[in-house]
Amino acid sequence: MRLLVFLALVAGIPAQEIVPPGEGQETQQPRKRRRGRPPRAHPPKPLRAPLNQERGERKDPRKPRGSRKPSSRPSAARPSVPVNLTDTMNSPQTFVVGTPQEDFSLELDLFVPPWPNSEPWPVILWLHGGAWRSRAQGPPPSYVVQHGYALAALRYRLSQDAVFPAQLEDCKAAVRWLRAHADELGIDAQRLGVLGTSAGGHLAALMGTTNGHKEFAGTLGNFEYSSDVGAVCDLFGPTNFLDMDSHLPDDAPITHDEWDSPESLLIGGPIQDHPDLVGLANPVNYVTSDDPPFLILHGENDRVVPVQQSEILFEALRAAGVPANFFVVQGASHGWKKIPPLESAIMRFFEEQLRRHKRETQNVRNPDDTAAHPEDSSESR
């Protein structure tokens, strides 16, 4: 089953193709044999190759690896020997990006690969989940560092600290800060992507669709640097809050329309009473043709954020001509345990897109770096 997931993603199966579940999914327990009866021999099941829909043919996954044409594409920097990342992931450098309000300091943890590198590290901004009100959704993804990337884990303001768009302003401030300090941090400011899960996936999607929108710049400075990102990976994040409950089963563990739902707390009032504020937080409303490439992954059986939320975003991106891929993880619920083929596909996406972004980006500074404050300018897409 893992092989099918890996081959499907490598082959670039079109959006909405269902991929098999990985580790952590429930499997059927084998039936017990009756004592004294030898087991029956079952013929092996044929391995079904993923369909290449563009050519109308199937690629044979049993084809020897040696028969594949070698790729000329360089891979991400990796160590020549296995590296234990436990110490690295537990001992980041912590930096204060700024103080957006009197009782809150915006901090990020920077993890870098534990092996020497002759060039600055490309960097991924990691946005945690937790319904915009908690940080207890597990550690940052170590596989990002294992693939030769710096990982900037941002502790953005939660809904009990400030309502939207404070969270988006924090994310954009973090990107500007990383670019302003790129040389001393040893990171490549031109190769910068964003990755988020659940609530963090929602913010990651907004980071991509609001590239160039100065109304979300906030007040934390470094305005001479761009807050644009070169690639977005959105893992099961919501988009249109008003349309979530209509796609959930009756026994879902959450009701998003309630006055105290995570979405209502984020915007500062019941979502059904404030459609204008909901629209402000909907990444679909900002989609334009020049948005960065997207990779969207969502669990088929998500009972918290229905998979239709990702479908809405994907359809809007595709309609605008934005490069986007959308995969549904078969059998997965809201989040999933470690699935190495998906992790490798995520990093392959970043490697391909951020390399292209580096070639096309000549300067990470804003073209209008003489403005005293971004809100003084009327420029917006």
CATH of the domain at 116: 3.40.50.1820
Q: Which of 264, 214, 206 is nearest to 232 (CA)?
A: 206
DSSP string, 277-318: HHHHT-GGGG--TTPPPEEEEEETT-SSS-THHHHHHHHHHH
Contact 197, 138 (CB under 8 A): no
- Give average pLDDT by consecutive 10-residue segment, the chain, 381 residues: 44 48 44 45 40 42 42 41 45 93 94 91 96 86 94 97 98 98 94 97 98 94 96 97 92 92 97 97 98 96 95 98 95 81 93 76 48 37 34
Instruction: Give the predicted TM-score (pTM) of the model.
Output: 0.74
Q: Is residue 7 part of a domain?
A: no
* Separation CA 210–CA 91 (nearest Å): 32
Contact 130, 304 (CB under 8 A): no
Q: Is residue 306 part of a domain?
A: yes
Per-residue model confidence (pLDDT) at position 67: 41
- Token readout for 11 is 């082959």
Q: Is residue 60 part of a domain?
A: no
Contact 278, 267 (CB under 8 A): yes
Q: Is residue 44 part of a domain?
A: no
Q: Is residue 228 part of a domain?
A: yes
- Token readout for 327 is 């995969």
Per-residue model confidence (pLDDT) at position 333: 85
* Separation CA 165–CA 178 (nearest Å): 20
Write down the residue that tokens 């504020």 correspond to.
Answer: 277
Q: Is residue 25 part of a domain?
A: no
Q: Is residue 235 part of a domain?
A: yes
Domain tally, the chain: 1
Q: Is residue 314 part of a domain?
A: yes
Kind of pairing, strands 93-101 and 104-111? antiparallel
Per-residue model confidence (pLDDT) at position 357: 63
Q: Which of 49, 30, 52 is nearest to 39 (CA)?
A: 30
Per-residue model confidence (pLDDT) at position 97: 96
Per-residue model confidence (pLDDT) at position 339: 80
Backbone dihedral angles phi then psi of residue 196, each to the nearest 5 degrees: -150, 155
Its domain, for residue 136, covers: 90-361
